[in-house]
Amino acid sequence: MSGRTHFRVRCRETVSANRQAAYYKTPPSSVQVPDSPASSSSAAASPASTSQKKPEIVGDAQSSKLAESAPLPPKPAVGVTIHQLSRVFDTGITAIDRLDLTIDPGEFVAILGPSGCGKSTLLRIVAGLDRPTSGSATTGNVANPSIAYVFQDAHLLPWRNVLDNAALPLELLGMPKTERRKLAQAALEHVGLGDFLRQYPAQLSGGMRMRVSLARALVNRPSLLLLDEPFAALDEITRQSLDEQLRQLWQDLRMTVLFVTHSTTEAAFLANRAIVLTPRPARMIEDFSLNLPEKRDADLRGSLPFAEATHRIYSALQRGTDAGTEAK
Amino acid sequence: MNSSTGKKHLLFAALWPPIAVLIIVCAILEELGRSGAVPRFLLAPPSAVGEFLIHHRADLLISLWTTAQAALIGFAASAILGILAAIALASSPLIRRAFYPYTVFFQTVPIVAIAPLLVIWFGPGLASVAVSAFIVSVFPVIADTLTGLLSTDPALIDLFHLYKASSWARLWKLRLPAALPSILTGLRVAAGLAVIGTVVGEFLVGLLGAGEGLGVRIVSAKKMGRIDELFAAVLVASLLGLAMFTAINLAGRLLLRHWHASERA
């Protein structure tokens, strides 16, 4: 258990009972988390600013000891500023057209839009894997923010076991073997895979592989986590359970999250803010806060506010598609 | 207990069909040879080949060892130089465009035609025979390794880019291991070709009356009309190729055992 404690950066207001509850081995839906000040509506409106100003490691004796030995300092979340961003491919197709967008540090943002509307391109540009044709995408004012990217499929190295797959980012950044394995183990325990360290990807189910992929993304304690339809290839039940885990991870770690998805329900369940894009070229048609409870669990899916949020996203998607059709 | 009997059963199930074919074919050949339907100078009955194998096993083992040495040296050279060449070719599209057409030379060169040249360059011995084995077997290693290196998962390349991996790390930790299945395919083909290249090389050396490899023996047996010796030497050469192929196969299974669920049991 102590192996995980140094992993979480939390805001000061969060009560320690909440932290205890976060150590789930059981599905998070069965974990009862008492209401905390952090989950009040005011905090939900801007949870980012609180965690941004006072990031710290919540310390009992064990976790502070681990925090000292951990070579990676907790990183503050970073915001993303997208200014007049356009991306035109060599083929002449305009994927994104003069997009403006500001994302605060620590926000959980869902980005929705029809297939091929340039959502992935946007994510790749933010990650630095692609360059804008004009305009800019900048991440925070941190010199070298750590960015993690989760793909639609797990994309693990089949010749490496789970532990060494999760340790890969640290290995590439030059961390010695013992330290990176310790951190990778902590990250894997955090996603509930503590008992599968020596397994190989071929021996795991699709959902477990995706969790390894998540652990790999989190092992570096990213300031910004980019997810490109990460659970789209999974069955509905696995997907819901991973959504719950991801939401919990965000509540524990409070990094900035950009989550690209096709699913209105997934967006409503996970995010604090939803951005809906039009068909290609991507323009913003809707950008609103989801005023849902901070704590999300299976019960939320059946609630009226959830249905309303889902509907609002859906109708924005519909409007975007209609507008796109008329434009043609 | 249960699983070991199960394994034995599986082994038996796998082995009996080819063994049955072998027995039937041998019986037919034996009958054709003994009855005189096919003249003795065209076909040695299996019993005569077997007799030769037993009586001249010491000589044959020396020939086998000579041939195996050349084949293994040629194969090793193919594996090492072929993989290095593929890495160089994969490093840039320009290098690939400039050099790849010339690697096809190895695929198309008629080895019999250039073997005399090899003998002039390297002398009538192990060196020229090993070079012949190399020339015949290197192309599949280059081609398959290159395919493997160029088909690395783009998402993983992105991932390595995201964590600022050096090009050395990208090659060593991603592209080469990811190309391993393709590399092994190339090596499997190369193993058989290396034996063929060796035997052809030995033909030419044998014409000069030097060497003691299986190819040399085949040439001299043909000259002397010793059809049983010829068949025995061909059989041993085939077994050598099979042994090398099997060795690569086993190495591949071992290396890839974690990759696919099917290799686990």
- In SS3 terms, chain B reads as CHHHHHHHHHHHHHHHHHHHHHHHHHHHHHHHHHHCCCCCCCCCCHHHHHHHHHHCHHHHHHHHHHHHHHHHHHHHHHHHHHHHHHHHHHHCHHHHHHHHHHHHHHHHCCHHHHHHHHHHHHCCCHHHHHHHHHHHHHHHHHHHHHHHHHCCCHHHHHHHHHCCCCHHHHHHHHHHHHHHHHHHHHHHHHHHHHHHHHHHHHHHHHHCCCCCCHHHHHHHHHHHCCHHHHHHHHHHHHHHHHHHHHHHHHHHHHHCCCCCHHHCC
- Residue A43: per-residue pLDDT: 37
Q: Residue A228 region, left (φ>0) first, then alpha (ψ -120 to 50), else beta?
A: beta
pLDDT for residue B10: 82
- pLDDT tens column, B69-102: 999 999 999 999 999 999 999 999 999 999 998 9
Q: Which of A88-97, A290-299, B42-51 has the lowest mean pLDDT?
A: A290-299
Query: Token pair for residue B63?
Result: 């020939």
CATH number of the domain encompassing residue A309: 3.40.50.300
For residue A283, give the DSSP letter. Answer: -
The answer to which of A113-117, A139-143, B53-57, B86-90 has the lowest mean pLDDT is A139-143
Q: Which of A148, A159, A171 sits opposite B258 (nearest CB)?
A: A159
Residue A84 confidence (pLDDT) above 70 = yes
Any domain includes A46: no
The residue segments making up the domain with residue A244 are 80-146+226-327
pTM assigned to the model: 0.78
Number of residues in chain B: 265
Is residue B154's pLDDT more than 90? yes
Portion of chain B with pLDDT greater than 90, in percent: 60
Share of residues in chain A with pLDDT > 90 (%): 41
Distance from CA of A165 to the nearest CA of B (A): 11
Q: How far is B261 from chain A (nearest CA, A)?
A: 5
Q: Which residues of A208-234 are buried (b: 16+ CB within 10 A; e: fewer)?
A: bbbbbbbbbbbbbbbbbbbbbbbbeeb
pLDDT over 70 at A20, yes or no: no
Question: A94-103 and A80-88: which strand pairing?
Answer: antiparallel
Tell which wins on pLDDT, B113 or A214.
A214
Mean pLDDT of all residues in A235-244: 89
Whether A117 maps to a domain, the answer reads yes
Q: How confident is the model at residue A158 (pLDDT cuts 50, 70, 90)?
A: very high
* A59 assigned to some structural domain: no
Residues paired with residue A137 on neighbouring β-strands, in sequence order: A82
Q: What is the pLDDT of residue A8?
A: 39
Read off the pLDDT band of B4 (50, 70, 90).
Answer: low
Of A124, A158, A172, the CB nearest to B160: A172
Label residue A69 exposed, middle or buried (CB < 10 Å: 0-12, 13-18, 19+).
exposed
pLDDT of residue A127: 92
**Averaged confidence pLDDT in chain A:** 77
Following CA atoms B213, B215, B220, B222 in sequence, which dihedral angle do they give, to the nearest 10 degrees?
150
Mean pLDDT of the A160-165 span: 96
Task: Let me know if residue A160 belongs to a domain.
Answer: no
A220 CB neighbours in chain B (<8 A) are 163
pLDDT tens by residue, A261-318? 988 999 999 999 999 998 878 888 888 888 888 888 888 888 888 888 899 999 888 8
The better pLDDT of the pair A55, B150 is held by: B150
| Contact call for A203 and B161, based on CB within 8 A | no
Are the beta carbons of A242 and A234 closer than 8 angstroms?
yes
Chain A touched by B34 (CB under 8 Å): no
Among the partner-chain residues A129, A158, A171, the one whose CB lies closest to the CB of B162 is: A129
Q: What is the pLDDT of residues A163-210, one digit of tens each?
A: 999 999 999 999 999 999 999 999 999 888 999 999 999 999 999 999
In the predicted structure, residue B231 carries a pLDDT above the cut 50: yes
Chain B hits for A153, CB-CB cut-off 8 Å, are 155
Predicted local distance difference test score (pLDDT) of residue A6: 42
Q: Looking at residue A199, what is its pLDDT?
A: 94
> Does A235 reside within a domain?
yes
Are residues A149 and B158, on separate chains, in Cβ contact within 8 Å? yes
Question: Does A95 score more than 80 pLDDT?
Answer: yes
Please give the average per-residue pLDDT across A238-250, as a whole number: 90
- Position B124 scores a pLDDT of 81
Instruction: Report the number of distinct structural domains present in chain A.
Output: 1
- For residue B1, pLDDT over 90 is answered with no
In a 13 Å sphere around the CA of A25, the CA atoms on its Cβ side amount to 6
Supply the pLDDT for residue A46: 40
| pLDDT above 70: residue A67 | no
Instruction: Classify residue A19: in a domain, yes or no.
Output: no
| Segments in chain A forming alpha helices (H) | 2-5, 16-22, 41-45, 47-53, 61-69, 119-127, 162-166, 168-172, 177-190, 206-218, 236-253, 264-270, 304-327
- Cβ A157–B161 below 8 Å, yes or no? no
In a domain, A116, yes or no: yes
Q: Which residues pair with A174 in a beta bridge?
A: none
Of A72-81, A105-114, B246-255, which range is least confident? Answer: A72-81
CB A160 within 8 A of CB A198: no
Does A15 map to a domain?
no
Q: Closest partner residue to A155 among B156, B161, B258, by Cβ?
A: B156
Among all chains, which residue has been given the structure tokens 């009997």? B5
Looking at the predicted structure, is the pLDDT value of residue A16 above 60? no
Q: Residue A31: is its pLDDT beyond 60?
A: no
